[in-house]
């Protein structure tokens, strides 16, 4: 049975007249002499379909936007003490991603591939509080707020590393993604926290946003591992929804 969280994602990402999985997607045989080339072509075929029209059967799902229910970050460094919580996060921009490379290991049911996205944006309601430290050069200023946050990411390269197992359900063998690790690099990120200080101090809110954007790439470096875990978990959820919807022998034609 699909969990409540998965059901939530399905409701948020409906496909309207989308593709049938896997009938409308390019498939690869394990004995293909150029398996990596086939997988690369298949991913380049699949990702735009999943984003633009999505799947209508056997499940209803689309990957533009990509949703996640929750995440939190706790920043502790010389510039900032900051706790932030995000809810019902929406990610757009993956629709314009390019699959750069791919490598498949059919024996170990593993897949690695790399994507490049010129622009991504994360939008989510947030709650945050903490202190600005200004690297010890100024008195601490409190920072707090709740509203809508917008993060814009530019020139994002993501290395996706998937491992999987075979699981039997109702007499059929399915592919289950057991781990989904990501490595993320970007050229620039901009941060916008709406309604800082509950709108009571617009000048301080502007100064705070300006300062956060000055140190934004440093903040990303400081909590990068947690960001990569968050993206990996989000992608893993979608991957398991897709691969868990049909038996393995329908995805891999020469699977016995």
Q: How far is CA 90 from CA 45, 114, 233, in A?
A: 23, 21, 14
- Tell me how far apart the alpha carbons of residues 137 and 128 are, in angstroms, rounded to a whole number: 23
Q: Contact at 8 Å (CB) between 115 and 185?
A: no
**Which of 132-141, 172-181, 199-208 has the lowest average pLDDT?**
132-141
Q: Which residues contact 160 (CB under 8 A, 6 or more apart)?
A: 111, 112, 113, 114, 115, 180, 181, 182, 235
Tokens at 231, concatenated:
């993206």
pLDDT tens digits for range 60-82: 999 999 999 999 999 998 889 99
pLDDT category at 256 given cuts 50, 70, 90 is low
Q: Contact at 8 Å (CB) between 46 and 25?
A: yes
Sorted by where each starts, the structural domains of the chain and their CATH numbers stand as 67-251 (3.15.10.30)
What's the predicted TM-score (pTM) here?
A: 0.91
pLDDT tens digits for range 203-212: 999 999 999 9
């Amino acid at each position: 049975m699909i969990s409540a969280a998965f059901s939530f994602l399905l409701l948020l990402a409906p496909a309207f007249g989308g593709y049938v999985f896997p009938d409308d997607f390019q498939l690869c045989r394990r004995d293909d002499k150029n398996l990596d080339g086939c997988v690369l072509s298949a991913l380049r075929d699949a990702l735009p379909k999943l984003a633009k029209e999505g799947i209508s059967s056997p499940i209803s799902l689309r990957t533009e936007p990509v949703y996640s229910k929750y995440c939190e970050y706790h920043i502790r460094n010389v510039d900032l003490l900051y706790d932030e919580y995000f809810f019902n996060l929406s990610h757009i921009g993956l629709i314009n991603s390019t699959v750069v490379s791919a490598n498949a290991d059919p024996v170990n049911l593993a897949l690695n591939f790399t994507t490049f996205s010129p622009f991504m944006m994360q939008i989510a309601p947030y709650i945050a509080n903490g202190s600005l430290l200004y690297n010890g050069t100024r008195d601490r200023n409190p920072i707090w707020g709740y509203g809508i946050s917008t993060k814009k990411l530019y020139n994002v390269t993501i290395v996706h590393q998937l491992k999987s197992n075979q699981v039997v359900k109702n007499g059929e063998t399915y592919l289950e993604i057991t781990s989904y690790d990501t490595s993320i690099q970007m050229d620039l990120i901009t941060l916008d926290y709406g309604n800082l200080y509950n709108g009571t101090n617009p000048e301080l809110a502007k100064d705070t946003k300006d300062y956060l954007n000055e140190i934004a790439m440093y903040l990303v470096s400081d909590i990068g591992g947690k960001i990569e875990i968050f993206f990996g978990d989000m992608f893993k959820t979608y991957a398991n929804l897709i691969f868990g919807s049909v038996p393995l022998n329908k995805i891999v034609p020469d699977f016995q």
